[in-house]
Amino acid sequence: MQSSNKLTIYDSWIINYPTISTRSRLFPIEPIGLGTPYVESLTSYLTRLAEAHKVLVGDLVAKEIKTIVPKKYKSKDLFCTKHKSGTANSTGKVAKYLLSALSSLTFRQDLKFLTLTQWSQVLPQRNLIHPTKNWCPLCYQEQYQNNRIIYDPLIWFLKPLEACPVHKIKLQSKCPHCGESLPSLARNSQSGYCSNCEQWLGQNNRNDFPAGSEWDLSVAKNVGELLVNAVRVVEIAKRENISKSFQRCLDQANADGIRSFTKLVGFKKNQVWEWTNGKVIPEFTVSLKISYLMGVSLFDFLSGAEFQCLNYRYRNSPIKHKKSNNNNKIIDLELAEQKLLKILSDSPENPCSMSEVAKQIGCHRRTLTRRFPKLTHQISARYQQYKQETHARKIKEYCQEVEKAVMELNQKGIYPSEVNVSKLISKPGSFREKEVRDALRKARQKLGMRQ
């Protein structure tokens, strides 16, 4: 039998490696409520993102987000501070930096709708976001009982909003268990739970909470409309729209010029003039009040759309304006001058500042300074001298306390370090003063101690 020297030829295989798309660094979890009045806030999304990765919010920020924030800016640590963390949902740099970081880490391009950055041209940051966390306990409880994802809607963080648009009750700002106000974002934030005592914040009984007013419900309706239309904001949220809307209100309010209009809406003439001429963007609460009083949708007012004012809400309005301060007027200039002279002639042990003097006379400090520059300068100079003398006297007393404490510690065989000495003096913080630190050094030198 002859062996065959021929090779067997098989069909060749062409192996192409499959195309694998780039993977995101973090889970691209889907935001809740996009396109609705109850869209999720960015701080809530960050909290859920940390929960999805089984880590604390503080660790996620420190290990992932801080490393890619594009600028050395104090906001890199802002997401875990108490009174400013809510600005991550606002219109400023903090929100934009966090959006940029989370978008690059999750590859999601729709996170901008979880903040108010789309409205940055018509909504100034001042008084826009609550300094602490607000929530509706009935919403939390419904989310839990219906097995829905627990989250914080963006609408809860807007400062003018004080009532839940769903349950018509006042939002809560203090934990019912520990009584503490909660930050919008904390290192250990967990959806629906207190970041201080870690207790559940949801409750069932509606009767335990006060109902929202007509104004509260109007705010909730208008704010919800803004969030729904956030997708269209790129084209319509322009600064010049504000001045157009104010001018349209003036034209339709049956008011004889700005002076008459300001009496109707309860704001000062110079403020309305600046808003109408586009010099200043009004605060969010102002836009809400004007649109409410004129019977106009807030969305139409901010977008510059054509609208017809229904000016029937001026009377019996639930809006409470700040009382005007008439302290700028001096009825009797001679009497005011006599009081200033009397204050100067007296030699009290504790002279008053000009602010306190103005309160006694009943007018604004700047008014007195403008009317009586020499007298007010003398009063201010005397008060400044008193403050300097008081400060020097206290420094001397602190130095004496330090010397006495050094002697006591030396007698007991304890080294008089700054920490040990601070335990024996009345004000440990006085070591911030150079004179007090020098007194400690000299006292140790007298005892022959090495510094």
> For position 315, what pLDDT does the model report?
43
The yes or no reply on domain 238-320 and CATH 1.10.260.40 is yes
> For position 27, what pLDDT does the model report?
93
> For position 279, what pLDDT does the model report?
82
Position with higher pLDDT, 320 vs 360 = 360
> For position 306, what pLDDT does the model report?
76
> For position 257, what pLDDT does the model report?
59
For residue 155, pLDDT beyond 60? yes
What is the mean predicted confidence (pLDDT) over 427-446?
87
What is the mean predicted confidence (pLDDT) over 3-29?
79
For residue 348, pLDDT beyond 80? no
226-235: long-range pairs with CB below 8 Å, 24+: 226/119, 226/298, 226/299, 226/302, 227/36, 227/37, 227/39, 227/154, 227/155, 228/35, 228/36, 228/37, 229/299, 229/303, 230/39, 230/113, 230/118, 230/119, 231/35, 231/113, 233/118, 233/119, 234/118
Q: What's the pLDDT tens digit per position in 387-398?
A: 888 889 999 999
Q: How confident is the model at residue 324 (pLDDT cuts 50, 70, 90)?
A: very low
Q: What's the pLDDT tens digit per position in 280-293?
A: 888 888 888 888 88
Alpha-carbon span 113 to 136, nearest angstrom: 21
Position with higher pLDDT, 168 vs 332 = 168
Count of beta carbons in the 10 Å neighbourhood of residue 71: 8
> For position 253, what pLDDT does the model report?
65
For residue 321, pLDDT beyond 80? no
> For position 400, what pLDDT does the model report?
92
State what percent of residues in the chain have pLDDT above 90: 19
What is the mean predicted confidence (pLDDT) over 405-429?
87
Alpha-carbon span 102 to 28, nearest angstrom: 9
> For position 451, what pLDDT does the model report?
63
Mean pLDDT (the chain) is 82
What is the mean predicted confidence (pLDDT) over 232-252?
76
> For position 83, what pLDDT does the model report?
58
Alpha-carbon span 54 to 190, nearest angstrom: 11
What is the mean predicted confidence (pLDDT) over 360-364?
82
Question: Is residue 117 within 8 Å of residue 42, measured between CB atoms?
Answer: no
Position with higher pLDDT, 22 vs 321 = 22
For residue 50, pLDDT beyond 80? yes
The three-state (H, E, C) secondary structure of the chain, written as one string: CCCCCCCCCCCCCCCCCCCCCCCCCCCCCCCCCCCCCCCECHHHHHHHHHHHCCCCHHHHHHHHHCCCCCCCCHHHHHHHCCCCHHHHHCCCHHHHHHHHHHHHHHCCCCHHHHCCHHHCCCCCCCCCECCCCCECHHHHHHHHHCCCCCCCEHHHHECCCCECCCCCEECECECCCCCCECCCCCCCCCCCECCCCCCECCCCCHHHCCECCHHHHHHHHHHHHHHHHHHHHHHHCCCHHHHHHHHHHHHHCCCCHHHHHHHHHCCCHHHHHHHHCCCCCCCHHHHHHHHHHHCCCHHHHHHCCCCCCCCCCCCCCCCCCCCCCHHHCCCCHHHHHHHHHHHHHCCCCCCCCHHHHHHHHCCCHHHHHHHCHHHHHHHHHHHHHHHHHHHHHHHHHHHHHHHHHHHHHHHCCCCCCHHHHHCCCCCHHHHHCHHHHHHHHHHHHHCCCCC
> For position 172, what pLDDT does the model report?
92
Residue (of 285, 284, 355) closest to 322 by Cα position: 285
> For position 235, what pLDDT does the model report?
64
> For position 144, what pLDDT does the model report?
92
> For position 80, what pLDDT does the model report?
47
For residue 316, pLDDT beyond 60? no
Alpha-carbon span 183 to 46, nearest angstrom: 14
Alpha-carbon span 217 to 324, nearest angstrom: 27
Determine which of 44-53, 220-229, 267-276 has the lowest per-residue pLDDT on average.
267-276
Question: Is residue 163 within 8 Å of residue 169, measured between CB atoms?
Answer: yes
Alpha-carbon span 89 to 428, nearest angstrom: 39
Q: How confident is the model at residue 193 (pLDDT cuts 50, 70, 90)?
A: very high
What is the mean predicted confidence (pLDDT) over 106-121?
89
Q: Where in the chain is the domain with CATH 1.10.260.40?
A: 238-320
Determine which of 115-129, 255-269, 328-342 has the lowest per-residue pLDDT on average.
255-269
